[in-house]
Every structure is written in structure tokens, then in C-alpha cells.
Amino acid sequence: MLLDKTIEELSTGLKQKLFSIEELVQECYENIQKYNPKLNAFITIINKKEALRNAREKDKNISRATSKLYGIPFLLKDAYITKGIKTTAASFVLKNYIPQYNATVYQKLLDAGAILLGKMNMDAWGHGGSSENTDFGPVRNPWDLTRVAGGSSGGPAAAISSRMAVFAIGEDTGGSIRNPAAWCNITGLKVTYGRVSRYGTIAYASSFDTVGPMAKSVGDCAQVLEVIAGKDMYDATSSSKNVPRYSELIDSPVENLILGIPKEFFQEGLNTEIKNCILNSTKIFEKSKIKIKHISMPMFDYGLPVYYLIGPSETSSNLARYDGIRYGQKRKEFTSETVRRIMIGTYALSSGYYDAYYKKAQKARTLFIKEYDKALSECDVLLMPVTPTPPTKIGELMTDPLQNLLADVYTVSQNPVGVPSLAIPCGFTKNGLPIGMQLVGSMFSEDLLLRVGHIYQKATDWHKKYPKLEG
């Protein structure tokens, strides 16, 4: 199957004409036709004839391709603006919205010659950790159709896991790339804040939102990141720091590296199978002469309250523009989860409560930054769980709002700080459900995280396993 190959292998094979872009795109659509009715991963599927015509045109010019992503089929979470293609953020508020311009990340991929196949299902506006809070029906986990795919980038994760495309672009505000990556057995990268432009992204919480790749492997994420990263004149928060050749650095040696294990992330509340699986992974790192150090991050317990005060405050402001007058449907189309977050945020920002809640949360955010600075001065990389449990049954989180928030307990503290985090597969439960772990580093240390993650994936084959869905 072509879709089992890495981006490097696909690019090489296309240039050597061992197979064609048209064949690769055709294989994607065959899998979409077989598996999407079961998974509900797509909101919009690009017309097959149009995509195949695009592929045939690119086949004619393959000898002149300069990017490894040339002719590679990809997917976009439906939070990115795409000119002439419906963009909904999984909400009926935008169910008929056709944008007039492209998000920067989408435009960069088009310029590289990649081929978009669809816009993916998600939690509406990014509000959720299961991709059930969507007006287009829940996304199902390809490893167990009775369970969720994770969120909010559940559609992209389910689609890559089941080989409907080569890679996808997700969005991570508090775990929305890493959570579904862990639950669907793929690799997902939450980048440093500002590493990739947010221009054309439908905002959840503007100071937390990050744009990042989701793929089968660390190597593929490296290939995508070096195309989409960099300064953007349309986004003042994007960084002008040089973009390394991540894919060329990925095999660089890691000498005298210290991997930190924060004890607070492995205490009560973490599923025993997940805990044991992640701690066992340290043996692989030790074989590569990486030193393991146990540390403490006592601020961990304040992650959720800080995130769920600042995040909803920003979303209450961002979603105020959807008034049903200039564009979009009426506000009654917002889901109950979105209404809940708007109300929490509006309350936290209101007169008399701003100092008591929002201002204190921002002060705690500063303490989080200091906490991560301290931890990453003792260690080069931190190893943590992604989720406290394996994928939950459909309906479990939506009927318990508190549990819905707790699904992000290990991923919400990195976004307020702005540090990068790489989620990679590290095993399965006794019931065959995927387990993921995350590697967290200092600002703009994506190259280091990718190198460490690649060391693990060269020594294991968890990331090569895919669900056996019947067509």
C-alpha cells in the first residue's frame, strides 16, 4: 500500500516514476470511500475528479518538483480558511461559509505542490477533547468504532490512522493535536507559539492556538514542519527565527541529553496501563545513552484552572463576531459546550470578577512559564503522558462536562507557556487501544524533540501499526 510509505519514500518513488501521483491520490479516495462512512472524519471531501485531474497535471511536472511534499495528498482540520471551499469550524453557525482567501498554512502547502483532499471534522470551534461536540456528528475511533477519536482534531487523526491521506494539519490550543494523535496511534506536533503562522485560522484562544502537523511518523512531521514554519507578514505573532531543515537534522546524534520525568504527571488519576507503558519507554532512551532524571513540577495541579479561565475568556471575545448579521447563522446554532465556554469567559472578564479570576489566572500563567523554565534548565526534554485514560466510549465525555475538561489535564499547561510538544505512539492497552506519550522541550526546540522522537521510532514499530478496518 502506497499510503504506508513515508513522505521521503513517496517523494523518491514519484521522482523515479515507480508510481504516479494519480495512483497515490486514487488510493486515498478508495480508502475514503471504504472507511469514512464508518468514521465520519470528513466534513467536506474535495471532488474526486478534480483531485485526480490535479494529480495528472502534477505528474507531468514531477521532474521539476523542488519540495518533498509535491504531489502528496493531505487534509486540513476545518478550522482553516480555504478560498472557494466551505469552511465551518464544525459549527452550523458557519455551515454555508465559503471564504474568499487562504490561510497561510494552506497556501504554503499549495505552493509546495501538495494536494488537498478534504476538510476534517472536529469539536466545534475547538471546544472539546473528543470530537463529539460537532454539528456534523461525532468522529469514531478507527481502533474501536464505539469510542471517540479524541479532539479537537479528531477527524484528521482518524483519517491518517486509517490511511485516507499522507498527512494532515491540525490545531492545538490545549492538546487538540496531541490528544487525538495519542488515541488514534499517530504522531502529532504542537509547535512553539509563533513557529507557524495562524493567519486564516479560526481562533479559539488566540494566545494559545498553534498550527501543526499530524502524520504517521516523526519523520513525516519534520518534512511538513519545514514547509509550513516561518515568519508571515500577515501574522504579527509569527516568529522571524530561522527555520531549520528539520528532516536533515532528525538523525543527528543526541549526546549527554537528559530526559526529565515530572513525578506530578504520573500520580493518581493516570491509567495504570498508560503509566507503565510510558515509563517502560525510558529503557529505549537509556539504550541510546539518554540520561533519565526524576524531577518535580508542583504547579501542575493549577494547569486546568488557568487554562479554563484564560481560554474561555479569549473565546468569548473571539466568538462575539459571529452575530448572524455580517455572515454566519444566528447564535442559537452554538452547541451547549460552546455556550458554556462563552459564558465562563464572559463571567471571568466581567466587571467585579476580572481581578478575582482572569487577572489571577494570568499571574499563574507567569508562574507556569517559570516552572517550565526551571524544569527545562535541569533537563533537555520532558517526558509526560498525553491523556489520563485510553479512548473513552462515545457519549461518556459529553454527558459529563468535568470529565470532558479533565481529558486535557496533561496537555493544557504547555500552551499557556508556548513550548513545543511532540506526541508519539508508545504501545497499546490489553484491549488493543492506542497509548501515546509526549516529549516537551524549550521554545523553538522542535528539532531536538523530533530527533528524540525519531530515536524512539527507529527502535520501535508502534507507529507503523494501523487499524484493520473492513471496507
**SS3 category, 471:** coil
Residue whose C-alpha is closest to residue 24's, from 70, 75, 72:
72
Helix axes 21-39, 7-15, angle to 10 degrees: 140
Catalytic residue among 20, 58, 68, 77: 77
Phi, psi of 199, deg, nearest 5:
-60, 130
For residue 197, cis peptide bond before it (omega within 30 degrees of 0): no
Q: Which helix (H) or strand (E) holds 434?
A: strand 434-440
C-alpha distances (whole Å) from 389 to each of 76, 350, 397 are: 27, 35, 12
Q: Is 153 a catalytic residue?
A: no
**Helical H segments across 61-177, by residue range:** 104-112, 154-161
Q: Is 317 a catalytic residue?
A: no
C-alpha distances (whole Å) from 144 to each of 166, 217, 352, 398, 414 are: 21, 21, 47, 18, 29
Catalytic residue among 11, 130, 152, 442: 152
Residue whose C-alpha is closest to residue 133's, from 150, 116, 119, 146:
150
**Cα-based torsion angle of the residue sequence 314, 334, 138, 277 in order, rounded to the nearest 10 degrees:** 20
Residue whose C-alpha is closest to residue 183's, from 439, 433, 465:
433
On whether the CB atoms of residues 374 and 133 are closer than 8 A, the answer is no
Catalytic residue among 162, 176, 281, 421: 176
Q: Is 77 a catalytic residue?
A: yes
Q: 206: burial class by Cβ within 10 Å (0-12, 13-18, 19+)? A: middle
Residues with Cβ within 8 Å of residue 242, at least 6 apart in sequence: none
Which residues are catalytic, by number? 77, 152, 176
